[in-house]
Structure 1
């Protein structure tokens, strides 16, 4: 949270004779000029012109009101208590907060003002905390000193002062009112709504669950899917492995995304295309990010020869009599020596910044990842390619080039099954598979022929009277693919929904090209 975001806090009341007055303000002179203290700064805004918004009509009471004046945003929650013990049978007050107009996350301060207004309403209804101060001290007189301590009588002023200091410094406060009442306030940052969660997304955790002292949630679905979130499994795969409902799994992942516990990536594929964004310049000049990347993508190396040597030494200790044979000892020494010679050192080499920059900038449009790996094999020694790509996407200087299928000719909507069966039955002869000629028939064009029962989606001739099982299956596959051919569904989504690999899906889509004019685009 930003520090010192609250410019002022003030408590205003409506008097049946004196009108709307500011009884307490922190700092002094920030809302109205103070007669007791000389303030070097003028008031933040003209109070007299905003009294109708601070103490509005009863229709606007008990509602959060925000308005801007003089480059400041005033957030108030006017409260009206209707009771016969007050003058004119009502007690109207407002506890307002002033922040900068340019403050983006001002909504969190609105929640604090709303809660504080409701708490003060309850305290006034229970024990008259606010009205009793007006009876004890002459707070309506501008010439009277009001800055009394918490025990001295002016609890409202002390409340304003403590709320301002604690929220600005610690973003929270706990203020005891009496033995049974305590005001607890906390600024919670307003988080943006999470993006749509698709089944082909791959969640990646941004925190270590092992470091948490208590379970992250009591949600059963969430606890079942957490062990399978490893940065490789898609949401559909996670739901299958955890044996959970897919809709509940998506909702649980959405909650984790909302609270910043994980980020969503695309399915990693060596046949995919990745390219740098304009943010790659920030990666080039930031040494800290490059150091973090080098630690993240480095493949750990293990000295297998040392492990074998330890095992042989254990064998010698346990079976000393057997290992004293010269032939066996020489064989063991030769095995250990040859293994040590072919094993790299236990400490892996450090990946330099130039190599990382070269690898990232060599990615481009039209270059599949597998071809890029073959071109950069020497530079990829000791580098985890999947982590290298994942790091770039998480940091925002890499993006995935998706593949889409678009049908350039929109098919006609199919006729209802009942009317289609009736019309076909009337056209067939008794006991034959031919169609009667009639005036209702017309010469089929290429467009109508492609969508009739006589031609499949790729333009191949089929039997209209007795379609075979293979033809029916092909038509069903074509219909299942038809909804993905609008250019809004990437191949990752198609593969996940159909449960087929990308090569098979691409082959099926290309088989529809002659009838629907399907083209593949990458963007």
Structure 2
């Protein structure tokens, strides 16, 4: 059994396997309260008897917890279930022991992700508190028929529509499950942020001042280190801004564009031959002008010609995209965003057991481990691709890995 509470010594309310789990349906919703004689008990649940008494008794100390965990998100993971609750207490002398304790809980599969339900559980608990204060909705009667109907509605609507509207007397509450994106990977200096939608659709005034300062330098070609230098913003702050924009689906990351780059078509390229909407989007994005758009066959031929043996320079010399009305830089951008193509990176490796005379005096050799791409090395050292390739070519103890 795993128990996590936002205010507990165990740290984060996020379950240990919650980040890895998949979103799943709500299997049960139950209402538990503290009876001044019987102690913690379930007084209403849908469907009936989903959580059996013996199971509840084993975890009741976490469902109706000590005072320090009141108004904290509590997640209890059992073998078959994961129980998410938000225990609360209403202080009033009219109640036995001068307080009314309850917890509204969602039950999901043990391996399911539940973090996206946390705001919903809290908001519904606050709604129940308001109704209890106004007309003793929860405590006045043993009959929980109205509460049961409410729980059924919530479970059905959230599972089917991800939203639910509750109305009781003069009070209304709107519940909505917000889909949470996974935490983006760390942003690196050599990566290039690019808008997923046109810049004109982006409202910069909705963002913090640092992000607003960075935004003008995001053009699909500037890498993070260059953006930091040109915007005069500390490098780590730029990375945080870009990571935040990725989380909200505003930008994506692509590799630096250079004519020496090598790209390879992916299996997703066949989608371009079948999906008419993708075709229209591609033609609009990659054509030099909208007045005279490029032909899809020429665009497709350029993508299909991208292989391990051809650099972008070779491809342009052979197919001449300018005469085909294709903007080759935007062609690459679109292909990377839609995953029609992928970048083939070069990784220099200094062979183990060999000694290079230049390696003793050139600190760049510390990057020749096979874990740093040329893009990363260029950003870290300030040297050009041509300079690094020249070092590799002159040293027989250094080889280039393509992947």
Q: Which category describes the TM-score, using the shorter chain as reference length?
A: 0.7 to 0.9
RMSD: 3.9
Distance in 1 of aligned mates of 2:236 and 2:23: 40
- How far the C-alpha of 1:257 sits from its partner, in A, is 1.3
Task: Encode CA deviations 1:11-39: one digit per residue, 9 max, x unaligned.
Answer: 1224355565443345xxx123xxxxxxx
Where 2:178 maps in the other structure, the secondary structure is: coil
Where 1:488 maps in the other structure, the secondary structure is: coil
- How far the C-alpha of 1:135 sits from its partner, in A, is 5.3
* Matched residue, 1:193: 183
- How far the C-alpha of 1:260 sits from its partner, in A, is 1.4
Where 1:247 maps in the other structure, the secondary structure is: helix
Work out whether 1:223 is the aligned partner of 2:212.
yes
* Matched residue, 1:507: 390
Q: What are the equivalent positions in structure 2 for 1:410-489 lying under 5 Å apart?
A: 456-457=357-358, 475=361, 478-479=362-363, 481-489=364-372
Q: Check conservation: 1:270, 1:368, Cα contact below 8 A.
A: yes
- How far the C-alpha of 1:491 sits from its partner, in A, is 0.9
Distance in 2 of aligned mates of 1:288 and 1:135: 57
Distance in 1 of aligned mates of 2:119 and 2:359: 60
Distance in 2 of aligned mates of 1:7 and 1:409: 56
* Matched residue, 2:343: 400
TM-score (norm 1): 0.61
* Matched residue, 1:51: 56
* Matched residue, 2:252: 263
Task: Point out the structure with max Rg over C-alpha.
Answer: 1
- How far the C-alpha of 1:88 sits from its partner, in A, is 6.5
Q: What are the equivalent positions in structure 2 for 1:160-171 lying under 5 Å apart?
A: 160=151, 163-164=154-155, 167-168=158-159, 171=162
Distance in 1 of aligned mates of 2:239 and 2:353: 32
Distance in 2 of aligned mates of 1:362 and 1:160: 58
Q: Of 358, 361, 374, which residue of structure 1 is paired with 2:317?
A: 374
Change (3 A) 1:147 1:406: same
* Matched residue, 1:351: 295
Q: Of 307, 322, 330, which residue of structure 2 is paired with 1:364?
A: 307
Which ranges in structure 2 are unaligned for 5 or more consecutive residues? 1-21
Where 1:486 maps in the other structure, the secondary structure is: coil
Q: Check conservation: 2:24, 2:109, Cα contact below 8 A.
A: no
Work out whether 1:31 is the aligned partner of 2:36.
no
TM-score (norm 2): 0.77
* Matched residue, 2:74: 64
- How far the C-alpha of 1:282 sits from its partner, in A, is 3.6
Q: Which moved more, 1:356-365 or 1:483-492?
A: 356-365
- How far the C-alpha of 1:255 sits from its partner, in A, is 1.3
- How far the C-alpha of 1:400 sits from its partner, in A, is 0.6
Q: Which moved more, 1:281-290 or 1:395-404?
A: 281-290
Work out whether 1:286 is the aligned partner of 2:275.
yes
Q: Which moved more, 1:247-256 or 1:373-382?
A: 373-382
Where 2:263 maps in the other structure, the secondary structure is: strand
* Matched residue, 2:400: 520
Q: Check conservation: 1:407, 1:519, Cα contact below 8 A.
A: yes
Distance in 1 of aligned mates of 2:116 and 2:59: 19
- How far the C-alpha of 1:485 sits from its partner, in A, is 1.3
Task: Encode CA deviations 1:465-501: one digit per residue, 9 max, x unaligned.
Answer: xxxxxxxxxx3xx12x122111111111222222232
Distance in 1 of aligned mates of 2:377 and 2:209: 29
Change (3 A) 1:393 1:208: closer
Distance in 2 of aligned mates of 1:276 and 1:200: 22
Q: Of 137, 141, 157, which residue of structure 1 is paired with 2:141?
A: 137
Q: How many residues align?
A: 377
